[in-house]
Amino acid sequence: MRYLSVEIRIQGGADEHHLDILSGALFELGALGIETREDSTSITLVSSFSADAEAELGDSVRAILVDLRLPQGELKIEPIEETDWSTKWRQDFKPMDFGRLYVVPTWLEPPPEAELVLRLDPGMAFGTGTHETTSLCLARIVELAEGSCVLDVGTGSGILALGALRAGAKLSVGTDNDPEALVVARENAELNELEHRLVLSAEEPDRLGGFDLVVANILRDPLIELAPKIGAAVLPGGRLLLSGLLVHQLDDVARAYLSLGYFEGRRDTHRGEWGLIELTRMRS
């Protein structure tokens, strides 16, 4: 089956309001799904359409960009075979080393030196461990999780919540507002025989109790918006890991959490142009 890929690159980025409007307009045109990619100079929206989408699709997208006054850097529309989507990413997904833990795709065998192994099939959910922010979070989780109760905000495939369990956490709770992600996370938990220690929920973070370790690998704007709810889920003396962030976004997000008045000990870790913030909740 063939599809059309529509790639919109916005130079200089765009605020969340305009991105929401643009995404909504693309869905109205018939988009089957939208992926957002961000780097230090631009934001790219990649959407998929059925092959029988209107011939005027390009003109319609250009008109939307003009209406929103977005600085369009590039618009690409090209056909893609479905089999390319389902197999290409597998070619690049190899066993990944996170200290004591190896994340291994279901179709490969773990290396003999692997001490701990987490099997993973991402399915349609975000989170394979290949992205810098996921690997930054997982490497630190492996160091901190033993004996703790962990909350993973925006769990996606469940890789962080399950990685914490494999590294010795007593319990992991994964939240996500995407029902498909919760299904995939549950399947990955069963694949690793960890379902009895994983709780999955669509509830807000502050409604789930207190945790020794809270990780939120999402995006800048939702991290800032959810700061009071995410912060409230961290127990006194607990750790908070925040990522999904470009390096130049770290200060804005850290400021939102430090302004709550009960976090301290900021520590930043970088990998390429991406970063991780670690904070500790004060004990009193």
Mean pLDDT (the chain, rounded)? 85
CA distance 88 to 184: 20
Q: Classify residue 201 by burial, with Cβ atoms within 10 Å: 0-12, 13-18, 19+.
A: middle
CA separation for the pair 86, 84 (Å, rounded): 6
**Of 132, 131, 110, 108, which is closest to residue 121 (Cα–Cα)?**
108
Q: What pLDDT was estimated at residue 266?
A: 96
pLDDT at 264: 96
Is the backbone of residue 193 left (phi > 0), alpha (psi -120 to 50) or beta?
left
**Domains of the chain, start order:** 2-87 (3.30.70.980), 93-281 (3.40.50.150)
Low-confidence ranges of the chain (pLDDT < 50): 83-86, 124-126
What letter represents residue 36's amino acid?
T
| Distance of alpha carbon 97 from alpha carbon 101, whole angstroms | 6
Residues 200-254: pLDDT tens digits?
Answer: 999 999 999 999 999 999 888 999 999 999 999 999 999 999 998 888 899 999 9
Tell me how far apart the alpha carbons of residues 26 and 36 are, in angstroms, rounded to a whole number: 13
